[in-house]
Chain A
């Protein structure tokens, strides 16, 4: 065995941590192992000289290496400050002090060893896992309660606050107030204690998760901006808001004003539980029941406490602060300050921003400057943030946040009732709106199916054998025969479809057309049909619609709203609009367009029939592409005065919907649930018809 290994055994032997075999090796060291023996003896001596510090108290050494005079002065000052701090807490009744008060009989550690034991015990009850966040007063940790095997949140004073007796007071006060408020929406306190290792105070409370209302608001507004439906999201946030109101109303009933309401102070768990946190700034009203139970110190020193929090928590708090708070007008701080704070939370729900964010944005100022701005600025308005919110909620919000306190809601309950009433109305309003939406969709679907039928009939008519025969006739006799045959089929189609005005088969030659067969409904008596005699058939220059039609490929149908199918754009057309569906007819020999078949339908009659159905909409407008009104009903009555007039002039409230429907097929009013619009396209992005409904 090498000397080096033996030296290692010697080291181990000094701690009595070698095996019997190894011990034998050391006992049998020979005379030649001089250095090993010297090392063993010297190391043993060295160990003895300092072990357990035997010479600590020998009188002759006490004069050596003591504290310097400066150090003594420093220590004395520090101890004396600590004593004063302790006494002030003791006087305040916050802690028991054995320094100047009666001897302590607590069953706590008495000797140096028990101090350590206790440290371990206390520390082992709560195992800190990770820091969750930082409040105005302290840090909040996620911790494991080893006794009850559950996660808890531990709040401890921030290290920088430890030196301040005021901070200790506030911390105790926060714990005491929170502990007194027993409500499902107020965080339950489990234990208040001091860390016996450091003497620092902490309290354990229910761990409610890390998600706050602030996070939920950000998520909601991200969704709104991404264009997702937000009705449900808003409803959920408002439910949370009502829970907060309940907690605050309860606190008010116990004489406690929270004074630091903001979305960050509301925790949400994944199961809908809403918990109001951070009662560190709470004020206990003097004549309240709770006030009698609390120590004198807690009812005093409000101004100092308030300033401290504001100074220590510059970023968050002032942005939700009521003007009277910003002014430092402490006499005026009462439950109406919380009404303002709740209004500020509602504001944040509706806009995604803190109310005072705009007024203090861009200014890097001292807290005093910021408070001055908040104290004097106009009441923030939702419109400043360019957000549209339901008008009633906007009103509720402005009332809660009125600068003049007497204009605010009298109580939190009143505010909650207003929001709840709106929500209830909203849900009945919502179901009414949904019904109206269904009606709008049905109207469109009905028209769609009608147009589908029309197009099928046009295609059917164009494919009839007489159509082709009429291209090929050479004799007048044949012409007459085939005309009669076609006319009789057209007549049958008109009989079967009372809205069809006429069906025409025309030959087109260059820019001219000449009718070959025309069957039409009698102008005065719609039940009477006639086949237009040959001498009365029209021939003229092709209309715009016809020109489009002959551009179509075989069997392709073109449907459109047209004034007069035969009419040129530059001629005076009739006001009445027809719904026209036509198909080009190709000559199979030349493979060129020979003519067109067109069915003209009386859209006015069709729409009137649609309008007679019962509808929940108070106002209904049907308009065509150029946004001219084709049909207008108000309270079920058809108004003829606005026919052919522009929607923008006659019913401007539909304008946002009309704009939207230029590119989209549906308009849903997510803000106020008032207006619905649906559009049917005949030719994509060109021609169509829109139904506009208003509750």
Chain B
């Protein structure tokens, strides 16, 4: 049982929550906004926090909800462009017969190669920014937030097939992007 002290929240958890939000939203203004809303909501219903579990965990719980709300709103406002029009990496990766173009994916780890996951994560984060927002959001909610497909469809107001198309395109796009970036980085490393 503990008494909450919101005045120290910004110093204690600000960066942590911000990074969490930024990794999901890929936009620092948006991340700051949801962090602010999280703190305010935390103050408003502070009486619901009874001290079981960490303050940080409790705030993250609120933040997760705020992120989903934000993504939902953003998705709603960007509804003008139907997903079919969104960038489809298939054309760059497959030929007319639907077969891989040679060298479509530039890199994959060698057997036994040690991969620094944190570094890979940074590359993935950078690549996420290059994806159309609709695809990136589905990927974030599905993989990073580990949400159920049904929940994602409901929150974003999209159909399951729409969600799967977005998800697959996101994976293709990420594989292509990460492959080329990691490869280049690798070469750079070797050159250095």
Residue positions of A touching B, CB distance < 8 A: 2-5, 7-8, 10-12, 14-15, 34-39, 41-43, 45-58, 60-62, 64-67, 71-72, 74-76, 78-80, 82-83, 86, 95-100, 103-106, 108-116, 118-119, 194, 196-199
Interface size on B, residues (CB 8 A): 77
Q: Given A46-B175, A108-B50, output 10 extra A-B contacts at Cβ < 8 Å.
A: A7-B93, A7-B172, A10-B171, A15-B142, A42-B107, A42-B108, A45-B109, A82-B43, A83-B6, A110-B58
Q: Mark B81-120, 1 if CB is under 8 A from A, else 0.
A: 0000000001001100111101011011100000101101
Assess the A67–B18 pair: CB atoms within 8 A: yes
Select one of A37, A60, A71, A110 contacting B32, CB under 8 A. Answer: A71
Q: Considering the complex, which residues of chain B in the window 1-38 have a beta carbon less than 8 Å from any beta carbon of chain A?
A: 1-7, 9-11, 14-16, 18-20, 22-23, 32, 35-36
A133 to B162, CA, bound (A): 36
Asked if A112 meets B64 with Cβ closer than 8 Å, knowing A38-B105, A42-B175, A79-B6, the reply is yes
A67 to B59, CA, bound (A): 17
Q: List 21 A–B pairs whose Cβ atoms lie within 8 Å, in order of A's numbering.
A: A4-B98, A5-B98, A7-B100, A38-B105, A38-B107, A42-B108, A46-B171, A46-B174, A53-B20, A56-B16, A61-B19, A66-B15, A66-B18, A76-B7, A79-B9, A97-B47, A104-B49, A108-B47, A111-B57, A112-B53, A115-B62
Residue numbers in A under 8 Å from B143 (CB-CB): 47, 50-51
Residue numbers in B under 8 Å from A99 (CB-CB): 3-6, 43, 46
Residue numbers in B under 8 Å from A53 (CB-CB): 20, 23, 144
The answer, yes or no, to whether B187 is at the interface (CB within 8 Å) is: no
Assess the B18–A71 pair: CB atoms within 8 A: yes
| Interface residues of B, dominant DSSP | helix
- Minimum CB–CB distance from A183 to chain B (whole Å) comes to 33
The answer, yes or no, to whether B65 is at the interface (CB within 8 Å) is: yes
A111 to B59, CA, bound (A): 9
Name which residue of chain A comes closest to B17, CB basis.
Answer: A67
Assess the B39–A50 pair: CB atoms within 8 A: no
Residue numbers in A under 8 Å from B47 (CB-CB): 95-98, 104, 106, 108
A417 to B7, CA, bound (A): 60
- Minimum CB–CB distance from A255 to chain B (whole Å) comes to 31
Name which residue of chain A comes closest to B24, CB basis.
Answer: A53
A108 to B57, CA, bound (A): 16
Residue numbers in A under 8 Å from B60 (CB-CB): 112
Residue numbers in B under 8 Å from A49 (CB-CB): 117, 120-121, 124
- Minimum CB–CB distance from A488 to chain B (whole Å) comes to 104
A83 to B11, CA, bound (A): 16
Assess the B48–A109 pair: CB atoms within 8 A: yes
Asked if A79 meets B39 with Cβ closer than 8 Å, knowing A39-B105, A50-B143, A119-B65, the reply is yes
- Minimum CB–CB distance from A196 to chain B (whole Å) comes to 6
Assess the B3–A112 pair: CB atoms within 8 A: no
Assess the A35–B32 pair: CB atoms within 8 A: no
Residue numbers in A under 8 Å from B4 (CB-CB): 98-99
The 10 tightest CB contacts between A and B, nearest first, are A112-B61, A199-B44, A2-B98, A35-B100, A66-B15, A4-B98, A38-B108, A111-B53, A82-B43, A38-B105
- Minimum CB–CB distance from A16 to chain B (whole Å) comes to 12
Q: Mark B49-78, 1 if CB is under 8 A from A, else 0.
A: 111110001111110110000000000000
| Interface residues of A, dominant DSSP | helix
Select one of B14, B51, B52, B115 contacting A75, CB under 8 A. Answer: B14
- Minimum CB–CB distance from A13 to chain B (whole Å) comes to 11
Assess the B124–A78 pair: CB atoms within 8 A: no
Assess the A51–B174 pair: CB atoms within 8 A: no
Assess the B15–A62 pair: CB atoms within 8 A: yes
A171 to B169, CA, bound (A): 49
A135 to B90, CA, bound (A): 54
Assess the A3–B94 pair: CB atoms within 8 A: yes
Residue numbers in A under 8 Å from B124 (CB-CB): 46, 49-50
Assess the A78–B36 pair: CB atoms within 8 A: yes
- Minimum CB–CB distance from B191 to chain A (whole Å) comes to 23
A479 to B4, CA, bound (A): 131
A47 to B117, CA, bound (A): 10
Select one of A45, A74, A86 contacting B115, CB under 8 A. Answer: A45
A64 to B115, CA, bound (A): 20
Assess the A75–B32 pair: CB atoms within 8 A: yes
Residue numbers in A under 8 Å from B156 (CB-CB): none
Assess the B104–A35 pair: CB atoms within 8 A: yes
Assess the B45–A196 pair: CB atoms within 8 A: yes
Residue numbers in B under 8 Å from A35 (CB-CB): 100, 102, 104-105
A79 to B8, CA, bound (A): 9
Select one of A14, A55, A97 contacting B117, CB under 8 A. Answer: A55
Residue numbers in B under 8 Å from A95 (CB-CB): 47
- Minimum CB–CB distance from B102 to chain A (whole Å) comes to 8
A59 to B32, CA, bound (A): 21
Select one of A34, A50, A98 contacting B3, CB under 8 A. Answer: A98
The answer, yes or no, to whether B158 is at the interface (CB within 8 Å) is: no
Residue numbers in B under 8 Å from A10 (CB-CB): 171
Assess the A72–B41 pair: CB atoms within 8 A: no
Assess the B49–A97 pair: CB atoms within 8 A: no
Assess the A82–B98 pair: CB atoms within 8 A: no
- Minimum CB–CB distance from A60 to chain B (whole Å) comes to 8
Residue numbers in B under 8 Å from A47 (CB-CB): 143
Q: Considering the complex, which residues of chain B in the window 122-144 have a beta carbon less than 8 Å from any beta carbon of chain A?
A: 124-125, 142-144
Assess the A198–B41 pair: CB atoms within 8 A: yes
Residue numbers in A under 8 Å from B168 (CB-CB): 7-8, 11
Select one of B6, B45, B146, B167 contacting A199, CB under 8 A. Answer: B45
